[in-house]
Structure 1
């Protein structure tokens, strides 16, 4: 990451700023000059100066607007994803309370199959879902999906056999397909790269909170065992599903849309946000008509595949922990109720740590070393769980803390780093969905590497998680070297000639392919 710019670059920076100020915001869809100002990595002082000038130009209080955007964007979608993740992984809490026994799931792999069937529609429809999100307004599509999967979760509490459980899990995956890629896509359209990480991590912390709340709610549901003739594991699905449906209705009126359409900001605030983002990422071309050819072109980008492999390596261990942490903790010899309680604390630590690490990452405007550090912490946690004897309860429980802290801090860092290096609505829409889609294939893997027959050591699952976390770190190094080389070529002007041969429209839609766009690491 460049920390300063030479004198010639400063002249280019100033010239770009003056040119940008002469451009009309209403005509910027036909202009690709907006990132000329930041074609060479500016210093923090230069960024601050330009943003102050923009705020004065549009008569905006920057701090007040930032707080309003955080409150109206980050908090609602964090609540949304908390509910989604809660309804997704609460099956692990139900399993502790005897779900498999009551549904006569006698084969060892039936529980794992119930987990994996969720990922079939979840993986297949993530990219199409982001297209729907773009065509409809985000608050319409996301709230519709959350109300639907809340209702399905309630239905899961009334299943009477294994087949019915599989059906509800399939449709739960179908309706949750919009949540993760849709929320990340929406987040990426509101924030600059130098301010995004703590928002991404705050949002992602909702997964850790969901794990904690899941254990807490499951603990409370123990007292409802037999109430209205229903077992306590059924009440987990019913109560959490009812909460989701209620909040889904509320979120229809609260969830934000894209900055170009959002109603909670004024026109001058909208103009400021759009121009602020264009300095960092170029013109978003939000108003443009969807063209499948341009969307498909994103798949030719090597960075997309590297980012997807990074996320895949992380997600196997992450879902493995989310679905099987309760089983691992129960193997320590705890009762079902104590298992629910002890499962809470690693999630709480992961939530707090993730946000703190993200704040440091944003402060230093650096991603790679933080992803490396958190990835190594996760590997250490898996190694402790793998290497310690089942009787070493305290050491293995400590390993759970390291796994949760490492993985659930690393994943938002990776997602923010890689997705924010794509610019423009087309490229953000496709890249965000595909990275999550490809990565979630790891969810399928994770459900079949932690088998009941491997308890209490779960050697197969833990060793696979270690290997794939290491694989993720290697892919991250390749990604880092690739964008460092690309930045060097762009600063040398090696990409300019090819870019100049493009039509005016293609240049306007180039996004991060514009040679003046500098990748962050």
Structure 2
């Protein structure tokens, strides 16, 4: 029997009046003469046209909302770089490495609470937890604009990291539970592209807000925090009603749509085990898989150049001779270029249903950009052009790495833990990045560029090791076969360790 057999129908008795049916959908309780039965999925399903419409419906509900959420999170996280151009350090009397320490303390709670945050997200539902966290980091950002000294800056940066801890891994975890592995990269890259848009948007906002310098007694850098934090708080209220939950409980889909989505994801990723809670034993068992550590290292290596650029790009660009406002404007084009290039990489990655080479090519671009910056110090236009290579390479490889690892994890429990682990461990690189570019190394910043090149190479090496591990395990499972006496319940518990599971390269 073929993959699609239009002669098979629901066992219920058909009725003659076909006009009462929507030709694109079916009622699970009454057979639709226009619906088809998919033997592979084991369910009656809508037409090909409507399947595409359903995926588009999911796209419009899931991706834009989460992109807005993370855009504002990344904006509030990195706008301190724009504030520094407008005199934050001088006004607060920061000396030596105090500014770098303020950047570093953000990552302490951000790293520690990644896994607990994803566990809470699964229990509370995404729309509750993510909107609550968003309101929290918006409020803290406002307070950051009111601090009077270094101690106050440290406190606000710490709580900013605490509230933002769930934004990125939570959103990636949620997206991964909606899409098949072969179609997810474009969605991941568009979502991750919100970081590039945040960089571009932040530069434009800072150039405008900077003109408010002195208004109501506040310097321009304070207004950057106050206004952008207020925006996050306001948007958090709206997103409470807009952030989607998991497919199993999405009220904005009909029952037949949820049935079809669950079936297609089951075939692609295995059983999700959404219904059961994540235990401490689940967390420990995940770390018995060495691929978890490779996934963390892949992300860790690229986070160093990613945050190195995000936190220090305005300061680097300022050394090219631009004014404060000119520096903010010139920070925009590299971010915009990285957003477009990331979508191009994602399109071809999904087209070829391949991830590995689409991590190495962008990483090579990033290394080339840093190499130019390391060796060239008298040609501002060439150096500025190298920043495009850095952003385009780094910020297009990162979403591929996270998508590749995340969607090779089967089941809610392994994916929730794995996504949080990769992002949490990876952000240790953020601590390194905050001390990579010190004021004493300006304007050449040679140590910083060397550090970024080294860690980008580390990421590339980890990607090669991860691809090799996937290839070996896929071949072993092919030789062993699928009938190993493992029950369906055991396969669900095993997730991607199940003998039926095949990893995507």
TM-score, structure 1 normalization? 0.88
CA offsets, 1:206-254, max 9 Å, x none? 0000000000000001220100110000010011011111111100000
Looking at structure 1, the residues matched to 381 and 151 of structure 2 have their Cα atoms a distance apart, in angstroms, of 39
Structure 1's consecutive aligned runs of 4 or more residues displaced over 4 angstroms after TM superposition are 21-24, 49-56, 494-497
Map residues 65-464 of structure 1 onto 2, 5 A cutoff: 65-105=54-94, 107-389=95-377, 391-464=378-451
Which structure 2 segments of 5+ residues have no match?
12-35
CA offsets, 1:406-462, max 9 Å, x none? 000000011111111001001000000000000000000100111010101111111
Looking at structure 2, the residues matched to 203 and 512 of structure 1 have their Cα atoms a distance apart, in angstroms, of 24
Is the counterpart of residue 62 in structure 1 residue 51 in structure 2? yes
Which structure dedicates a bigger proportion of its chain to helix? Answer: 1
Q: What is the number of residues matched between the two proteins? A: 477
- Secondary structure at the counterpart of residue 520 of structure 1: coil
- The RMSD of aligned alpha carbons is 2.1
CA offsets, 1:149-200, max 9 Å, x none? 1011011111111110110000000000010110000011000000000000
CA offsets, 1:92-146, max 9 Å, x none? 00000000000011x2201000000000000000000000001101000000000
Looking at structure 1, the residues matched to 40 and 298 of structure 2 have their Cα atoms a distance apart, in angstroms, of 38
Would you say the 8 A contact 2:411–2:492 is kept in 1?
no
Is the counterpart of residue 485 in structure 1 residue 472 in structure 2? yes
CA offsets, 1:450-507, max 9 Å, x none? 101010111111101001101111111111111101111111117864xx3x565322
Looking at structure 1, the residues matched to 295 and 90 of structure 2 have their Cα atoms a distance apart, in angstroms, of 40
Looking at structure 2, the residues matched to 53 and 503 of structure 1 have their Cα atoms a distance apart, in angstroms, of 20
1:334 positional shift: 1.1
Larger RCO (CA under 8 A, 6+ residues apart): 1
- Secondary structure at the counterpart of residue 432 of structure 1: helix
- Note closer, same or farther for the CA distance 1:149–1:51 as it changes in structure 2 (3 Å cut): farther
Looking at structure 1, the residues matched to 224 and 259 of structure 2 have their Cα atoms a distance apart, in angstroms, of 46
Which structure 1 segments of 5+ residues have no match?
1-10, 25-48
- Secondary structure at the counterpart of residue 249 of structure 2: coil
Looking at structure 2, the residues matched to 130 and 313 of structure 1 have their Cα atoms a distance apart, in angstroms, of 23
Is the counterpart of residue 507 in structure 1 residue 491 in structure 2? yes
Looking at structure 1, the residues matched to 440 and 131 of structure 2 have their Cα atoms a distance apart, in angstroms, of 40
1:51 positional shift: 7.0
TM-score, structure 2 normalization? 0.91
CA offsets, 1:375-423, max 9 Å, x none? 100000110111102x210111011000000000000011111111001
Q: Which residue of 1 aligns with 2:461?
A: 474
Q: Which residue of 2 aligns with 1:46?
A: none
1:67 positional shift: 1.0
